[in-house]
Amino acid sequence: MPVIVGAIAALLTFIVIGSLLAPLGAMGTVEIAVIAFVGLIAGVAAGVWEARRRRG
């Protein structure tokens, strides 16, 4: 279950940040990579949080 929570958090983070930055224009490779990295961090954090919540 923590993997599912992490994947959903990463996807939602990617969508939200991408949709907020898209109107600013110039979404290049670096910007997309940064958004993906932030999404990955959010996904890992959510997965770890869910795993700790289930243990405790």
pLDDT at position 26 over 80: no
Query: What confidence score (pLDDT) does residue 52 get?
Result: 92
Question: Closest Cα to residue 38, out of 22, 56, 15, 55?
Answer: 15
Cα separation of 34 and 36, whole Å? Answer: 5
Q: What is the pLDDT of residue 48?
A: 92
* Beta-carbon-side half-sphere exposure of residue 2 (alpha carbons within 13 Å): 13
- Can you tell me the distance from the alpha carbon of 23 to that of 9, in angstroms, rounded to the nearest whole number? 22
Structural domain containing residue 23: 2-55
In this prediction, what percent of the chain has a pLDDT beyond 70? 98
> For the chain, how many structural domains are there in total?
1
- Can you tell me the mean pLDDT for 12-21? 85
Distance (Å, whole) CA 56 – CA 7: 22
Token digits of residue 33: 């990579």
Q: Is the pLDDT of residue 5 over 80?
A: yes
